[in-house]
Structure 1
């Protein structure tokens, strides 16, 4: 771990002093009650303030009346209303709770795609120009804004800012990015007006500068203003960084105090925030912005880890650093950095499960922090157990680990039993296939080094007799799901490999039935120390004395597991993916599914839905059949990899139920037929059950 002292240095935005460089970016996390601030939302922001964040930004404070409407853009329903004085007490609750812990608060004023002048009028999709498709789910704009209507919107922004100021909010942020209304005026792609609000940079910026002027009028010059802007909107014939560098000085003539820099429209032809985007992909945009302004600048798109945060500050990409999902995953990042324990940061795995929900108007969820979707249960450290118990957990995968963590923090004594030589379960294989998981495994290792009252029994087979001897008060069984297999002619062929074989190899075991090649691979892994990088390199070897996966690879399974495997192994290989389903990507959410499929196609992976494996010959010829047409195809391969995910695994649980009738089954061992359970479901199950004992 590096030295992160620079991240802890104070800075100011306007007249507002911030204790460090960490900004919790505004996100619409869908924790409101009919646009009113809820207890859940206050708790969410207070946790981040208590965790050491310098500036907490409230996402989507909506300026236009949405009461009694059904917005086409689902995320709007999760906005905090700012169009009426009745919302002031809610904002004050957030401000007061965050101030109590030393954080400052910004309110991000927002208008997405739909607007109305008052609650007496219909909510319509509006735009500067109606000849360009609006945002996701909205379709073509229903109405082109008139100059008089623009002036009404400007006034709405000013009154919303006034309300925030009266509530004790420290800073106002104007959302002028990601293709929302202000950005649609700024962009050449979406603004084709010929009046004073269109044309050149000054005309396209006039809507924004009018809003700034109005906020100064309603709040006074002392209220700092941040502008969040997409410095490159990534749209055809849209704004590039060169356009933004012309816009910034124009905007600064009207008095702003900082720039938050992002990229893209939501409907941009390339992803901007999911795991397909390299970390730090857009920080160079912020560095470019710094060439035309002396104000504080911070990048805030696809930044996840502390090393990237450090790079932003130390190498001059920004003066602060903005993260959203990482603070959802771990509210205490700044405090852990200040305490000198950065290895204990619970890493965001960039799985987009939070965005999957938010984007369709459902409450935020998190794969690694179950408190986000179950805040009503509280935090374990705040809810000590009424009666101290001895909890025995079978399985050291994510469900078992989370249950142990929560139970230990509540004061229970915990014993974990696992047959492997390390904790982590399937996470150990996942981190080889997906480098975004690696820091999360590191977190668990650090967490268990510091937990009290936890005994970990590795290389130990759980038996009924062992459980009896441990004399537990409670038993949780989290053995992991049962790997789904197939039965077909040639299943025992040397060409066929299962995901269980890969899992065993990563764990340092020679898979059952495998010969010298696999023994050599396992021996090499052990000799090298079993590092993730070495194993990742080994799986990418398509030839050589320890290459267990050949050059011509057929992946059987087009769900989450199969596509992740194909993505991890397609370098220097000819890869085909088959699945009997009509659509590939079962278990992948709305944010990642289509981008992932497009990426695989671009990489040359052949994707065959509605296709089943019929046979594998002893010469490596596979027979495939289309399940609808019956058409048959033969394909010559070096490896057939069965990657169908996992299913329910209840054998051991059923065996002990007679002796331990109150035992609980956790994790992907509970996977229903046809469903895909991932880290989120495992962590959620462990959290809920451990909070209940």
Structure 2
């Protein structure tokens, strides 16, 4: 069997899980929504139906101070049980198992009166915490125990104690945030007392039947974080107090090291988990950037972990585990690590969904029903919007033909394969190619549809995407001027000096490509990660890249900081990478003209020459809607979706959602 280790059962406290796959805890941001509990129940039910071995909920605070913010979920009394029971009953009805994560945010909370072991402000929070008193610490431990007791009453199969990512318990463990001199600070014994007593109290509150997991930071990735031997000592201490499973946490939220974005190599943190796995006798789960069954299988087979914890891959495909069990891992709709639908909205105060699966978090909203009448449907364009629309329309029973002038599916996604770190974006068109075939969609690739060809179709969907906006500037026809598509597709190679006009997402992708074309970065070296774990926090001095062989300058008209519109959780990574490679970023630019010398601009009233052998144009895009006008002139009704309808920005998140909604509505 291809994934025999991954599919082997494992038993905790008399409960046998059918496989080694966990849906890890992930904050979904539903709390402020009027239908939050039913929405959560639908979300977790679909994952349970999809065969995942164990679900861990998003964090639930044990007291009011521990909440994410005013709308944060808390479990402190039996009056709050009905909502939780909606979730547990729904999951159990599908034969699933679910445990509730108990999370006190500490100095990361957005509440007014925030607390921490010491009064040290987090760099990602504008508020400074106050120091907890001894009595408050004792009460907080009791709050954890009471929260665990209530979780069992709510029907959960156990709890997970969150002791990672820089939240309250992690703050007690690390010298970075714990400057106390009383019994809760000082040496490791004092600093881990808070966690040890929480685990002891929670174990007693759970009784012998319920499961307890602790999400422990395997490597903090911050200065004055835990040392390697301290992580092991803490793991052994919680094992001795009755912990059943240690789940891996990687890095603090304030760490300046990426941990889960697409730029992080898959399985990049398994070494940290393996170190703890070798030191304890209870099962240990690996997490972060584990998104394929093959990788998960190899980690377990090699003894680096006992289980794998995946969150975003279960957003992308709730049937992940069932497809592995059915021997169909290639049919999984893979997470591409973009963060655009999940983490970016969460950190901006929104609710999570998924770019490649718009149903995620909105399962009750995206319902597929047979159409009143089966029709012949033409979808023109094989980018995100077109693929999504064609697939859902065909699955509902329509006779669908998808046309695309390109020889392969994907649209703008195809360009991503050239961008370092985005290679896995190609998993999405690969998934759709297989899914469309299974759904019976007729594919006409490498064929530009004409209005005459579309006459026999009852419904016409135009998802023809965008074309790059033409440059209107003296010298725009100079031989050194090229479009970003020419560079990213490899049709043209840039010279030694490059000016990129535009600092949006495409401009950054182009710069990343040009830097990566001449130098393949080593992730650990670039970000200062010490896999030998010889210093605190697992950090080392970053290794500077060699002098660049190509001078790259990015420019934009807006006075904002370049990259201001990039993803909240990934933009800083791209900017830091380009800055290390000496890419100049200029804002508030007025473009004047292009000649043999390069790009002439004005910045702050001063005329400047950006010497360039190549000028790459990334100044936006326009709808590719010519066919729409021709069809409308013939009196045909057309549905315009994706970039063909609105090309104001390249937005795959909106395109997939728009295509899905139309496919379900036709």
Q: Deviations over 1:488-525 (max 9, x none)?
A: 2322222121124357xx4xxxxxxxxxxxxxxxxxxx
Is 1:181 the counterpart of 2:168? The answer is yes
- SS of the residue 1:20 aligns to: coil
* Aligned match of 2:502: 557
Is 1:129 the counterpart of 2:128? The answer is no
Distance 1:350 1:106 in 2: 25
Give the TM-score taking structure 1 as reference length: 0.86
Distance 2:169 2:411 in 1: 47
Report the CA distance between 1:645 and its aligned residue: 3.9
The one of 634, 641, 648 aligned to 2:609:
634
- SS of the residue 1:103 aligns to: coil
Is 1:4 the counterpart of 2:3? The answer is yes
Q: How does 1:351-430 map to 2 (within 5 A)?
A: 351-353=338-340, 354-372=342-360, 374-380=362-368, 383-430=369-416
Is 1:329 the counterpart of 2:316? The answer is yes
**Conservation of the 8 A alpha-carbon contact between 1:482 and 1:669:** no
* Cα RMSD for the two superposed structures: 2.3
* Aligned match of 1:535: none
Shift in alpha-carbon separation, 1:229–1:135, aligned structure 2, 3 A: farther
* Aligned match of 2:60: 61
Report the CA distance between 1:643 and its aligned residue: 2.2
Q: Deviations over 1:606-639 (max 9, x none)?
A: 212223443332x3x2133234x13222233332
* Aligned match of 2:463: 478
Is 1:293 the counterpart of 2:292? The answer is no
Distance 1:35 1:230 in 2: 34
Report the CA distance between 1:587 and its aligned residue: 4.1
Distance 1:406 1:442 in 2: 16
Q: How does 1:80-479 map to 2 (within 5 A)?
A: 80-113=73-106, 123-130=112-119, 132-134=120-122, 136-141=124-129, 143-353=130-340, 354-372=342-360, 374-380=362-368, 383-433=369-419, 434-452=422-440, 454-468=441-455, 470-472=456-458, 474-479=459-464
Distance 1:671 1:35 in 2: 30
Q: Deviations over 1:433-469 (max 9, x none)?
A: 22120222221222122112x222223322222221x
The one of 649, 653, 663 aligned to 2:638:
663
**Conservation of the 8 A alpha-carbon contact between 2:415 and 2:485:** no
Report the CA distance between 1:84 and its aligned residue: 2.1
Distance 2:609 2:282 in 1: 63
Report the CA distance between 1:217 and its aligned residue: 2.6
- SS of the residue 1:466 aligns to: coil
**Conservation of the 8 A alpha-carbon contact between 1:226 and 1:258:** yes
The one of 594, 608, 625 aligned to 1:616:
594
* Aligned match of 2:22: 23
The one of 625, 633, 636 aligned to 2:601:
625
Report the CA distance between 1:15 and its aligned residue: 2.9
Distance 1:662 1:413 in 2: 18
Distance 1:58 1:149 in 2: 26
- SS of the residue 1:230 aligns to: strand
* Aligned match of 1:650: 625
Report the CA distance between 1:135 and its aligned residue: 6.2
Report the CA distance between 1:291 and its aligned residue: 2.0
| Contiguous gaps of at least 5 residues in structure 2 | 519-549
Shift in alpha-carbon separation, 1:649–1:317, aligned structure 2, 3 A: same
Distance 2:408 2:633 in 1: 30
* Aligned match of 1:522: none
Report the CA distance between 1:660 and its aligned residue: 5.3
Report the CA distance between 1:34 and its aligned residue: 6.7
**Conservation of the 8 A alpha-carbon contact between 1:202 and 1:250:** no
Q: Deviations over 1:11-47 (max 9, x none)?
A: 1234321111111011110123579852111111111
Report the CA distance between 1:586 and its aligned residue: 5.2
* Aligned match of 1:543: none
Distance 1:115 1:640 in 2: 44
Report the CA distance between 1:656 and its aligned residue: 2.0
Distance 1:306 1:611 in 2: 48
Distance 1:653 1:365 in 2: 31
Shift in alpha-carbon separation, 1:400–1:315, aligned structure 2, 3 A: same
**Conservation of the 8 A alpha-carbon contact between 2:466 and 2:647:** no
* Aligned match of 2:542: none
Report the CA distance between 1:590 and its aligned residue: 1.2
**Conservation of the 8 A alpha-carbon contact between 2:335 and 2:356:** yes
Shift in alpha-carbon separation, 1:114–1:163, aligned structure 2, 3 A: farther
Distance 1:440 1:36 in 2: 31
Distance 2:388 2:373 in 1: 20
Q: Deviations over 1:275-295 (max 9, x none)?
A: 232222211110000121011
**Conservation of the 8 A alpha-carbon contact between 2:377 and 2:457:** no
